[in-house]
Amino acid sequence: MEIQKQNSTNLLIKDRGNYYNLSVDEVVWVQSEGNYITLHTNNKKYVVKQSLRRILDLLEDDRFVKIQKSYVVRTDLIDIIDSQNDLVHIGALQFPIGRSFKEGLFSKYKILK
C-alpha cells in the first residue's frame, strides 16, 4: 500500500492497483510497527509502508498528536488523559504516553485547574 495526499481533508491509499479515498476525519489513531504504519478508523484499518513522521506531515491536522514513539491519536476523540498512569483513553482503547511526549500532548489543550 502507498499513501498520497488528495486534498487537505483526504488521503488516497493505494492497495493492489486500486486507490481508496480516506477522509482524515475517519482516522482515529495511527500505530507504527517497524517500516509500516496502521491507520485505524472505526470500521477498518489500513496497513501502509510509511514512516510515522511522513504520515503526520500528510495529515496536516492539528487534531493529531504523537503521544509515544509508536502512536499518534486524534485529540478531539480523547476522553481521558490519565497523567498518573501515563495513559490516553479513547472510548474503550488505552494508549501509553511517553514522557517526552507529555508536553506536546498537553499543549494541544487549554487546561483549567
Domain containing residue 11: CATH number? 2.40.50.1020
Q: CA-CA distance, 13 to 10, in Å (whole number)?
A: 10
Asked whether residue 9 is assigned to any structural domain, the reply reads yes
Residue 34 lies in a domain: yes
Residue 112 lies in a domain: no
Instruction: Provide the grid cell at 68.
Output: 509515544
Per-residue model confidence as pLDDT tens digits over 12-56: 888 778 888 999 999 999 999 999 999 999 999 999 999 999 888
What's the whole-number average pLDDT of the chain? 90
The answer to whether residue 113 sits within a structural domain is: no
Per-residue pLDDT, 27: 95
| Whether the predicted pLDDT of 11 surpasses 70 | yes
pTM: 0.87
DSSP code for 25: G
2, amino acid identity? E
Which structural domain, as residue segments, surrounds residue 10? 2-106
Residue 17 maps to a domain: yes
Confidence bin at 98 (pLDDT 50/70/90): very high
Is 23 within the bounds of a domain? yes
Number of domains present in the structure of the chain: 1
